[in-house]
Structure 1
Amino acid sequence: MRPRPPVNGRGIFSGTGLIITGLAATLAALVFPIWSYADRSGTAVDVLNAQTVSTRYGPLSALDREFVTKVRLAGLWELPAGQQALRKGTTQAVRTAGQHLVEGHTFLDQRVRDVASQLGLALPNEPSDQQKQWLATLSSAQGVEYDRQFANILRIAHGRVFSVVAQVRATTRNSLVRALADDANTTVLDHIKILEATGYVDWDALAQEMASGSTPPITNTPGPPGPTTDPTPAIPVTPPASPTYSLPPPATSPPPSEP
């Protein structure tokens, strides 16, 4: 019987050890980033949690608070712009658009003040610097030039707000903010349509402006005092009936020529 060759324990151990070591290293590489990401501060999740406060209507994020502020700011300049259009508009379509702005923002301003009161949020009492500039531009314009400026400035502003409303409505966990976003969506969409119906919207300029412009960044509006966590379930909110508006037929002809 042929004797068995001696077993090279070192060789077998070395090969098996390499395999085990490789597997262990791979597992560590997969696990470590998950552990370190969840553990370290400064991540997006960490920032979100730091800026979100608890309310009886559900978590209130920084974006939620910024949205409430923007609804109030919109009314502070668009309502007087609508009142101005009722006086200065040279066509019935422009005056009708002004009436829609007045009605829509009278309704929304009441809603946002009610929401802010329940959430303990402070609201601004005057338009932003950019909004003041828009009002100044409209105040200095006359005749057909006023109609053009009114339709295009307001249409650009509403287009920017529309995307913010959609983002808030899709992500908010706060029932009051969600109901306010529903009302804002109805009102903003109505205003977009009524401004387009004036026939003065410059579509090429609008596309360029929307592509180059952006909404102002979140300014970390302070939240109401209170704990950052709340085990109690959020109180559901039944939104009030949004106003309905009658729209004129869309304008299919070019804007009236200047006399």
Structure 2
Amino acid sequence: MRPRPPVKGRGIFSGTGLIITCLAATLAALVFPIWSYADRSVTGPDLLNAQAVSTRYGPLSALDRDFVTKVRLAGLWELPAGQQAQLKGTTPAVRTAGQHLVDGHTFLDERVRGVAARLGLELPNEPSDQQKEWLGILNTSQGVDYDRQFANLLRLAHGRVFSVVAQVRASTRNSLVRALADDANTTVLDHIKVLEATGYVDYEALAREMAAANTPPATPSPAPPGPVADPAPAVPVTPSPSPSYPLPPPASSPPPRQTEDS
């Protein structure tokens, strides 16, 4: 009796085995991207939550805390700059712009101190080094040079912060910060308009400064410290009370006169 020849094609390398192997490989290729995408989708929110502090008004991100600090810092130098412009400005439009700065930052400073107290955030009580430098320039300027320095320094500062306010308003999950961003947006836009109405804003120089600084939207780092249990109370800014003035139309202020040294 002849021995039976071995059966060919059995095992994983048989026709059926190859088909099963190919199907398994195809299934794995389809499933792996789903797992990978799911992992990535979880990582994003996890990273965001890692930078946020839980509050009763919603998560408070590092960007939110940075924004609250910037609102306070803006008032610490723009409010005294506005008071100074009411005294040193040589045109009604410059003095009116100063009045708008006083009114706007008196309101915003009260708002930001209230928000910080409810969120348990510490606030600075003096301007930054750059803001002190700007105030120094204004202190030593006189006449038309003062008007020009005032309009351009303040317009540059407001232009830089405008995109920060927009980013915070679009992304914050905290209701108090969202409301503060609404108020800041209205105030900053008003100040931009009255500064431009002075007729002294150098748009070419402004564009160069913005491009040189390369100021992208604000990022969460560096950020001020998060909420603390017993924050030190912020010292309020107390400007002298003064009436409000309406926004002057652009045509109310003619372009500044050219002088021999300008």
Q: 1:92 to 1:245 in 2, by over 3 A?
A: closer
- Once the 2 structures are TM-superposed, how far is the Cα of residue 225 of structure 1 from its aligned partner? 4.6
The answer on 1:223 being equivalent to 2:201 is no
| Aligned twin of 1:138 | 138
Unaligned ranges ≥5, structure 2: 1-6, 230-242
8 Å CA contact retained: 2:68, 2:177: yes
Q: 1:28 offset after TM fit, Å?
A: 4.4
Matches for 1:58-137 after TM superposition, within 5 Å: 58-137=58-137
Q: Residue type of the partner of 2:181?
A: A
Match of 1:19 in 2: 22
- CA contact 2:121–2:228 (8 Å) conserved in 1: no
CA contact (8 A) 1:168 1:178 kept: yes
Matches within 5 A, 1:1-259: 8-9=9-10, 10-34=13-37, 36-37=39-40, 44-213=44-213, 214=215, 217=219, 218-225=221-228, 246-251=246-251, 253-258=254-259
Equivalent pair of 1:190/1:245 in contact (CA under 8 Å): no
Task: Kindly tell me the number of residue pairs found equivalent between the two proteins.
Answer: 235
* Residue pair 1:144, 1:258 contacting (<8 A) in 2 also: no
SS at match of 2:250: coil
Say whether the 8 Å CA contact 1:165–1:184 is kept in structure 2. yes
TM-score normalised per structure 1: 0.82
Deviation at 1:179, TM superposition (A): 1.1
Segment drifting more, 244-253 vs 96-105:
244-253
| 3-state SS, counterpart of residue 121 of structure 1 | coil
Residues 40-80 of structure 1 show CA distances to partners (whole Å, capped at 9, x for unaligned) of xxx55333212211111121111111111111000000001
Matched position secondary structure for 2:57: coil
Check conservation: 1:72, 1:109, Cα contact below 8 A.
Answer: yes
Paired with 2:254 and 2:28, the residues of 1 have a C-alpha distance of: 71
Residue by residue, what CA displacement relative to the aligned partner does 1:81-102 show, whole Å, maximum 9, x if unpaired?
0011111111111111001101
Identity %: 66
Q: Distance in 2 between matches of 1:23 and 1:104?
A: 64
**Structure 1 position 245, deviation (Å):** 5.7
The DSSP-based 3-state class of the residue aligned with 1:47 is: helix
Letter in 2 for 1:255: P
Runs of 4+ with >6 A deviation: none
Aligned to 2:235: none
1:140 Cα offset (Å): 1.4
Deviations 1:157-212 (A, max 9, x none): 00111111111111111111111111111111100000000001111111122223
Structure 2 Cα separation of the partners of residues 20 and 220 of structure 1 = 52
Q: What CA distance in whole angstroms lies between the structure 2 residues aligned with 1:91 and 1:225?
A: 46
**Residue type matched to 2:163 in 1?**
S
Greater displacement, 82-91 / 6-15: 6-15
